[in-house]
Amino acid sequence: MRINHTEVTKFIIVGFPGNKKIQILYFIIFLHIYLLTLLGNIILLFTLKAEPSLHTPMYFFLSNLAILEIGYTSVTLPKLLAISIGKARHISLTACLMQSYFLFFLGSTECFFLAVMAYDRYLAICNPLRYPILMCNRVCVFLAIGSWLTGFLNPFPSTILVSRLHFCGNIINHFFCDVPPLLGLACNNTYIIRTIIFISSTFIVLGTFLLTMLSYACILATLLRMSSATSRQKAFSTCSAHLTVVSLYYGTVIFMYVNPAAKQSMEMNKVVSFIYSVVTPMLNPIIYSFRNEDVKKALKRMMLQKFCAGRKVLGGPA
């Protein structure tokens, strides 16, 4: 659909294709994913807050990551739920830009936190004696604020430039206002904006990914020098959950944004975007709960305490 660019004040988000029955199925699936994401991350946050043994730098950063994941899915899924039942397919240019901005903001911040968490594991395993000094409370707060602030500022240039474009089309073939399909509707030459986004994405995504891999390369070298198999297993268990999340997140993000010659179909882009923006936030609390012994023990203790408290209220034996 091509229309005069002066008339474009709203866009139509296509979402995922399918007839009415398929759309209802989509709605049920997306609703369950959203509720699981909220519930999983909220439970993780309460567990980390309630268990004193988890008041460490590693779990402080994990708390920030859980908050971030709640925001990530809340930017996309409520709108996608409305689209799936045939309502609110229209979105204003301002709302579209805001959605795009917050996705880039939260996505960039997640990259920084994943790198910071890898650095924290590097210090804990490779420099255990100096770890309390190198990762004190002040340093943790500084790294957290730096991650949030840098992620917050990163999307400003591209968002401002996109807001000044004129658009010759209003149909966004995606399930949210992502920048690439939005640029495809522009009447203007978007080469400069695409270049800025590519450089920014490459710097942040590949930069933090390489820092993360460097941290784990040092960790691996340290683990190989350990004489005790038990020590190696214990050290690796604290990293396995984070490595799983890193692999899932970076694999999809690099596929989407750090490939200047990418010619994937829009349907493929939707699937990949769905994985990193919806599926990953849902899986993260599950991964950290089931692949981290400390969190599993804390969850069991918290559930046992709730059960015993419930028995006392009901008048049963504790």
| pLDDT tens digit sequence for 276-294 | 888 888 888 888 776 677 7
Over 80: is that where the pLDDT of 318 sits?
Answer: no
* Whether 100 contacts 159, CB under 8 Å: yes
Provide the pLDDT for residue 279.
Answer: 86
Q: How many CB atoms lie within 10 A of CB 118?
A: 24
Token pair 């903001």 in the structure block, residue: 105
Provide the pLDDT for residue 260.
Answer: 53
Question: Domain 5-312, what architecture?
Answer: Up-down Bundle (1.20)
Provide the pLDDT for residue 4.
Answer: 45
The Cα angle at residue 194 between residues 184 and 148, in degrees rounded to 5: 110
Provide the pLDDT for residue 37.
Answer: 93
* Range name among 4-13, 103-112, 157-166 with the lowest pLDDT average: 4-13
pLDDT tens, position by position, 79-131: 999 988 877 788 998 999 999 999 999 999 999 999 999 999 999 888 988 99
Provide the pLDDT for residue 65.
Answer: 92
Instruction: Report CA 3 to chain centroid distance, whole Å.
Output: 35
Residues 6+ apart with CB under 8 A from 129: none
- The C-alpha atoms of residue 157 and residue 212 are separated, in whole angstroms, by 26
Residues 6+ apart with CB under 8 A from 15: 26, 80, 83, 84, 89, 175
Helices 57-84 and 20-50 cross at an angle (nearest 10°) of: 160
- The C-alpha atoms of residue 216 and residue 245 are separated, in whole angstroms, by 14
- The C-alpha atoms of residue 214 and residue 220 are separated, in whole angstroms, by 10
The Cα angle at residue 17 between residues 12 and 20, in degrees rounded to 5: 100
Which phi and psi angles does 45 have, rounded to 5°? -65, -45
Provide the pLDDT for residue 3.
Answer: 45
Can you give the residue ranges of every domain in the chain?
5-312
Over 90: is that where the pLDDT of 16 sits?
Answer: no
C-alpha dist (Å) from residue 204 to 171, 186, 208, 212:
29, 26, 6, 12
Alpha carbons within 13 A on the beta-carbon side of 206 = 11
- The C-alpha atoms of residue 263 and residue 269 are separated, in whole angstroms, by 10
- The C-alpha atoms of residue 20 and residue 274 are separated, in whole angstroms, by 21
Mean per-residue pLDDT, 302-309: 69
- The C-alpha atoms of residue 62 and residue 52 are separated, in whole angstroms, by 15
Provide the pLDDT for residue 7.
Answer: 60
What Rg value do the Cα atoms of the chain yield, rounded?
A: 22
Provide the pLDDT for residue 53.
Answer: 82
pLDDT tens, position by position, 56-84: 998 999 999 999 999 989 999 999 999 88
Over 90: is that where the pLDDT of 214 sits?
Answer: yes
* Range name among 37-51, 126-140, 301-315 with the lowest pLDDT average: 301-315
Provide the pLDDT for residue 231.
Answer: 67
Over 50: is that where the pLDDT of 234 sits?
Answer: yes
Provide the pLDDT for residue 315.
Answer: 57
Provide the pLDDT for residue 307.
Answer: 63
Residues 6+ apart with CB under 8 A from 119: 211, 215
| Winning range, highest mean pLDDT, from 100-114, 182-196, 231-245 | 100-114
